Amino acid sequence: MKKPPCSLWFLLLLGAGSLLLLVRLQDLTQLVLQQTPGVNMFEAPRWTNEKDVVTDFTPAADQTEVQFLSDSLLIEDSVGSKQPVTKRHRKLLLRNLNPSGAPSGAEEDQHLQQQLADTQASRRRLLTAVCAKYQPGVSEQPVSQRQVSRVYVEDRSRLLYCEVPKAGCSNWKRVLMVLGGSAAATRGIPHDAAHYANRLRRLENHDRAGIAERLRSYTKVLFVREPFERLVSAFRDKFESPNSYYHPVFGRPIISRYRANATRAALRTGAGVTFREFVQYLLDVRRPVGMDIHWEPVGQLCNPCLLRYNFIGKFENLEEEANFLLRGVGAPRNLTFPDFKDRNPQAERTSSRTTVRYFSQLNSTERQKAFDFYYMDYLMFNYPKPFKDLH
């Protein structure tokens, strides 16, 4: 019998060895998969590109919370190390946490913050354009102490706030007192303390160098209100409620000048000024008593073309915009803008409907003259004409 050639034996041994090796490799693969579940052994690792990493701007007061959120969103790789969350990872995580596809609370908040920031940029652009047209070169002029007499200083938060009466200024003073450390909370500050015992410094009390440096480096804040609505609010507050200052100082000369056959009682007390009489006083170039900050146009009160405010808020969205500003300057998380009304709290708040009711007491000529009086405020702060017959 002929023996098989050596080459055949070699092939048989090689085949048997290969079979044993394959079985051993399969056993090893199963062992690895059991030790590292969920890892795809046949997918190459994906390295995070620098452009994919998402970074979010947050105020200083939110850093602890942001760190916690970042830690919870870090992804474990196959060897237990942490990789940054990429845009792709974040979308997948949000989809898993919110399968319905509806925006999450974080997404909605981020969208709102972006809207508020865009609104601020738009308001600043408009103000710059209006000032360039009507007061060219004014921002290059030196600033006098009188021109910053209504501006309050909060050095801790590096804020400058111009006081506009009837546009939330009482509550803004409360906020500044808390920021400055002279009060623990806004709720416990009475109206008179907010105005007459607030320990707040005005910008005019600094020397010229101090004024210039703060105007250059601090956040300059201005809150405005629809001009006719602000005027009606001031009238109701000062003349329709008892007032030991405005009735004798303003009411008596107004009644004496604009009311025919005024009674002795009215002339003595100054009580009972009508809205029409008040507007007549306002529009009179020879008014019997001077201007007052409660109805002085914001363009004259806060000099926006000269001071170039960084933040222009509106009373119509006061709480939301004020809280956006407070977060941006790093205010404490527990400090939010108060919403209470402490003067005449039982009285109806002045609204656009209230304003229409009061201005219906005037004829079209008087309404037009009042609009002309506040024309620059309407223009600078983008308020629409309140009546169709105005031009």
The predicted structure's pLDDT at residue 149 = 97
55 Cβ partners below 8 Å, 6+ apart? Answer: none
Structure tokens given for 385: 């004409």
What residue has token string 């009735």?
Answer: 247
Give the model's confidence band at 26: pLDDT under 50 very low, under 70 low, under 90 confident, else very high: low
Mean per-residue pLDDT, 67-89: 38
321 and 113 Cβ atoms separated by less than 8 Å: no
Cβ atoms within 10 Å, residue 170: 19
**Higher pLDDT pick, 28 / 48:** 28
Query: What is the percentage of the chain residues whose pLDDT exceeds 70?
Result: 74
Which pLDDT belongs to residue 69? Answer: 31
Query: Mean of the per-residue pLDDT values for the chain?
Result: 82
3-state secondary structure of 369: helix
CB contact at 8 A, 224 and 317: no
Distance separating alpha carbons of residues 10 and 210, to the nearest angstrom: 97
Cα–Cα distance measured from residue 358 to residue 326, given in angstroms and rounded to the nearest whole number:
35
Rounded CA-CA distance 296/165 in Å is 9
Q: Given a cut of 90, is residue 229 above it in pLDDT?
A: yes
* Secondary structure (DSSP) of 44-109: ---PPPGGGB------GGGHHHHHHHHHHHPEE-TTS-EEPPBHHHHHHHHHHH-TT-PPPHHHHH
Q: Which residue has the tokens 């410094």?
A: 201
**What is the structure's pLDDT at 387?**
96
Percentage with pLDDT > 90 across the chain: 67
Q: What is the pLDDT of residues 34-71, one digit of tens each?
A: 443 433 332 333 323 333 333 332 333 333 333 323 33
